[in-house]
Chains A and B, each alone.
Chain A
Amino acid sequence: MIRFLLKGLLRDRSRSSFPVLIVSAGVMLTVFLHAWLNGTILNVTQSTAQFKTGYVNVMTKAYAARADQIPNDLALLGVDTLLASLKQQFPDLLWAPRIMFGGLLDIPDEKGETKEQTPVSGLGVDLFSPNSPEWTILNIRSALVRGHLPEKQGELLIADELAQRLNIQPGQKATLISSTMYGSMALENFTIAGMLRFGVGPMDRSAVIADLSDIRQALDMQNGAGEILGFFRDNLYHEERANAITAEFNAEYPSNDPENGAGKFSPIMETLRTQSGLSEVLDIMAVYMRIIIGVFVFAMSVVLWNAGLTGSLRRYGEFGLRLAVGENKGHVYRSLIVESLAVGVAGSCIGTAIGLAFSYYLQVHGIDISGAMPKENAMMIPDVVRAQIEPATFVIGFLPGILATFFGSAIAGIGMYKRQTAQLFKELET
């Protein structure tokens, strides 16, 4: 009997191929949408962490309070000791001291007179220490589009877009004009080593990167750093772990405890979420993501439920015949449910596989959205947004795929019990 029913299911395209196709399409879209929205949030989080906040960030309390102004006069000092302590205490993270700074980049002509001058936002990062994590974190090697990587002190990397605007080439000289941490004017000469393209709007418009020791020297910040950023080794934000690390670190530096040196220059650790109002942004994005996916899953469920319902209603004539021949209602109902489950499972598997394949392609290649981004965008949104497959992506499609199809058929099948057998029998004739 099972073989007989299976034969009918496979031969009748309106009961097998088409429903499977509809379920597959719905599931595929659900899976892809989940991966895409997930990837968008992850991309924004990773870019923000990579260039701005880290997953955790150690600053002085005073610096943290005005972090948006990059107040290097309130920067951490004695960084080597603190860094060593962080590496020892939290070895599961990569620690990177950085100095963010603003200033003017002056490009001289052959006579040494100013040819071009432009404001830049700079990043002093550790380029020369052995095992410096910055090469990996900032992905500098891949970002280099012209020139070479810094090989010695005094070399500067510059955003390619900025270099083109200033019409400067690798090997040219440039002077950084800024202010020291004590408020004096800072002037430091650099040689342009190479040009970078990170694929993140704000970085590509005006960033310069130099070795941390050069910037310390230029800004008179000996053994200082504005921030020490901590990165999880898998480059994913683990909020619970970040909160635990932060709580443990901050417990060692209680606030307003002058006897322990915990004044405004004592260090404080913040997580990615607690910096620069990111928690609200991330929460809003997560809520929007849930709403969008929820609405989509619901809409898909209604479509697939309806497909299951109409598919079953269409078969009332066949049910009438089967009842007339002697099959009992329970058997017909059960076979309908099993059929819908088979269609749901097959459609969900196919849809999930195609959705995952499509998502994986976009996880590797991404979509370049730079053309759609405003030029003055200040958010760390990458130009190429990629999908991100996570464990939930594998199962989310099964929700509308199996359940909706199942409920559609189950509800339609109940009609068999509500109708008199004779009525179903009569529907044979229609």
Chain B
Amino acid sequence: MQNSAIIKTENLSKTYPLGLTALKALDTVNLSVATGEFLGFIGPSGSGKTTLLNIIGCLDAPTSGSAKVLGQPVESLSHKEAARLRMNRIGFIFQTFNLLPVYTVFENVEFPLLLLGMDAERRRGHVMDALQWVGLADRADSKPAQLSGGECQRVAIARAIVKKPELVLADEPTANLDAKNSHHIMQTMVQLNKELKTTFVFATHDEKVMAYLNRKIVLADGRIVKDEAGGQKSNVRDQKP
């Protein structure tokens, strides 16, 4: 396990204009996340967890302060540089799966590899590996509409990890799943965290997710109010940066 910081923020703030006033979504957030962590931003709606996740994912820029993700300063990245960073090193998992409905499971998982310009043979190998990790190799030719919610989210996980990114960001990944599927999904991600050494960062207020986290960063009104390490179900790691 490496202990170098994969994410580091200093006095990170984000303000959104709101008519004549401004909404402070993040307020001087200082944070350091080490490689291989399995952590979550926890808090109610409006606490700033999705905003923080967006900045870490280079989808948004801070208003002030700095955020370094995978060694890159988010605030000074151009659109192209941010896209390249996401394409090569960051995976996303969404609340609503967001699979492309016209493509098969295989093609959905294959999409990030196409952007990387990988040749067809290597793509096939990587996609089938990713589908095997999430237990859906036999559904490669199915369309998303033929899958259950849990299976869709597993495809989304396969899509996020197929390029073996160093960082996976998951925004409320279990919000649309029942308890059984939520646990299944979390167990899959814990396993991937262990096997691939991928850092997972969640934004959640789902207790089922919290139970699996090594580290819980509690946000309220855009500030970190608590940063605590916790036991991870079926997880062997015990660390705190």
A binding-site residues for B, Cβ under 8 Å? 1, 4, 7-8, 11-12, 317-318, 321, 323-330, 420-422, 425, 428-429
Q: How far apart are A413's CB and chain B's nearest CB, in angstroms?
A: 14
Q: With the chains together, A317 CA to B95 CA distance in Å? A: 13
Q: How far apart are B227's CB and chain A's nearest CB, in angstroms?
A: 24
Q: With the chains together, A330 CA to B100 CA distance in Å? A: 20
Q: With the chains together, A328 CA to B78 CA distance in Å? A: 10
- Whether the pair B102, A323 counts as a contact (CB closer than 8 A) is no
- Whether the pair B96, A326 counts as a contact (CB closer than 8 A) is no
Among residues of A, the one whose C-beta sits closest to the C-beta of B112 is A325
Among residues of A, the one whose C-beta sits closest to the C-beta of B92 is A324
Q: With the chains together, A421 CA to B82 CA distance in Å? A: 10
Among residues of B, the one whose C-beta sits closest to the C-beta of A9 is B102
Chain B neighbourhood of A11, CB < 8 A: 102-103
Chain B neighbourhood of A420, CB < 8 A: 59-60
Partner of B84, one of A7, A321, A326: A326
Chain B neighbourhood of A327, CB < 8 A: 83, 87, 115
- Whether the pair A324, B86 counts as a contact (CB closer than 8 A) is yes
- Whether the pair B102, A12 counts as a contact (CB closer than 8 A) is yes
Q: How far apart are A427's CB and chain B's nearest CB, in angstroms?
A: 10
- Whether the pair B88, A428 counts as a contact (CB closer than 8 A) is no
Given contacts A1-B114, A328-B80, A328-B83, contact A318 B100 (CB under 8 A): yes
Q: With the chains together, A325 CA to B54 CA distance in Å? A: 13
- Whether the pair A329, B79 counts as a contact (CB closer than 8 A) is yes
Chain A neighbourhood of B79, CB < 8 A: 328-329, 421
Say whether B48 faces chain A, with CB atoms less than 8 Å apart.
Answer: no
Among residues of B, the one whose C-beta sits closest to the C-beta of A424 is B59
- Whether the pair B54, A326 counts as a contact (CB closer than 8 A) is no
User: Interface size class for chain B?
Assistant: 20 to 34
Q: Please list 21 pairs of residues, one from A and one from B, whose beta carbons are closer than 8 Å in the complex, sorted by A's number.
A: A4-B110, A4-B111, A4-B114, A8-B103, A11-B102, A321-B100, A324-B59, A324-B94, A325-B87, A325-B111, A326-B84, A326-B115, A327-B83, A327-B115, A328-B83, A329-B83, A330-B80, A421-B59, A422-B51, A425-B59, A429-B96
Q: With the chains together, A329 CA to B78 CA distance in Å? A: 11
8 additional A-B residue pairs with CB within 8 Å, beyond A12-B102, A323-B86, A327-B83: A1-B114, A7-B103, A11-B102, A318-B100, A325-B92, A326-B112, A328-B79, A422-B60
Q: How far apart are A250's CB and chain B's nearest CB, in angstroms?
A: 70
Partner of B88, one of A4, A326, A429: A326
Among residues of B, the one whose C-beta sits closest to the C-beta of A330 is B80
Q: With the chains together, A327 CA to B83 CA distance in Å? A: 6
Question: Which residues of chain B (68-113) have a CB below 8 Å from chain A?
Answer: 79-80, 82-88, 90, 92, 94-96, 98, 100-103, 107, 110-112
Chain A neighbourhood of B222, CB < 8 A: none
Chain B neighbourhood of A321, CB < 8 A: 94, 98, 100
Say whether B144 faces chain A, with CB atoms less than 8 Å apart.
Answer: no
- Whether the pair B94, A429 counts as a contact (CB closer than 8 A) is yes
- Whether the pair B60, A429 counts as a contact (CB closer than 8 A) is no
Q: With the chains together, A168 CA to B90 CA distance in Å? A: 96
Interface centre among B79, B83, B101 (most CB of A within 10 A): B83
Partner of B57, one of A4, A318, A324, A329: A324
Among residues of A, the one whose C-beta sits closest to the C-beta of B156 is A321
Among residues of A, the one whose C-beta sits closest to the C-beta of B95 is A429
Q: With the chains together, A11 CA to B115 CA distance in Å? A: 20
Which 9 A-B pairs give the minimum distances between C-beta atoms?
A326-B87, A328-B83, A422-B60, A11-B102, A326-B86, A422-B54, A422-B59, A12-B102, A421-B59
Q: With the chains together, A323 CA to B54 CA distance in Å? A: 12
Q: How far apart are A374's CB and chain B's nearest CB, in angstroms?
A: 58
Interface centre among B82, B95, B98, B103 (most CB of A within 10 A): B98
Question: Which residues of chain B (111-163) have a CB below 8 Å from chain A?
Answer: 111-112, 114-115, 159
Q: How far apart are B216's CB and chain A's nearest CB, in angstroms?
A: 23
Q: With the chains together, A425 CA to B92 CA distance in Å? A: 11
Given contacts A325-B86, A328-B83, contact A428 B111 (CB under 8 A): no
Chain A neighbourhood of B115, CB < 8 A: 1, 325-327
Chain B neighbourhood of A422, CB < 8 A: 51, 54, 59-60
Q: How far apart are A8's CB and chain B's nearest CB, in angstroms?
A: 5
Q: With the chains together, A121 CA to B217 CA distance in Å? A: 102
Chain A neighbourhood of B107, CB < 8 A: 4, 7
Chain B neighbourhood of A324, CB < 8 A: 57, 59, 86, 92, 94
Q: With the chains together, A321 CA to B103 CA distance in Å? A: 14
Chain B neighbourhood of A428, CB < 8 A: 94, 96, 98
Chain B neighbourhood of A325, CB < 8 A: 86-87, 92, 111-112, 115, 159
Among residues of B, the one whose C-beta sits closest to the C-beta of A324 is B92
- Whether the pair B100, A323 counts as a contact (CB closer than 8 A) is no
Chain A neighbourhood of B88, CB < 8 A: 326
- Whether the pair B80, A317 counts as a contact (CB closer than 8 A) is no
Q: With the chains together, A4 CA to B112 CA distance in Å? A: 11
Q: How far apart are B13's CB and chain A's nearest CB, in angstroms?
A: 15
Chain A neighbourhood of B96, CB < 8 A: 428-429
Q: How far apart are B211's CB and chain A's nearest CB, in angstroms?
A: 24
Q: With the chains together, A1 CA to B85 CA distance in Å? A: 19
Among residues of B, the one whose C-beta sits closest to the C-beta of A12 is B102
Q: With the chains together, A421 CA to B114 CA distance in Å? A: 21
Among residues of A, the one whose C-beta sits closest to the C-beta of B160 is A325
Partner of A421, one of B60, B95, B98, B101: B60
Q: With the chains together, A8 CA to B101 CA distance in Å? A: 9
Chain A neighbourhood of B54, CB < 8 A: 422, 425
Given contacts A324-B92, A326-B84, A421-B79, contact A8 B114 (CB under 8 A): no
Among residues of A, the one whose C-beta sits closest to the C-beta of B61 is A420
- Whether the pair B83, A317 counts as a contact (CB closer than 8 A) is no
Q: With the chains together, A326 CA to B83 CA distance in Å? A: 5
Q: With the chains together, A325 CA to B90 CA distance in Å? A: 8
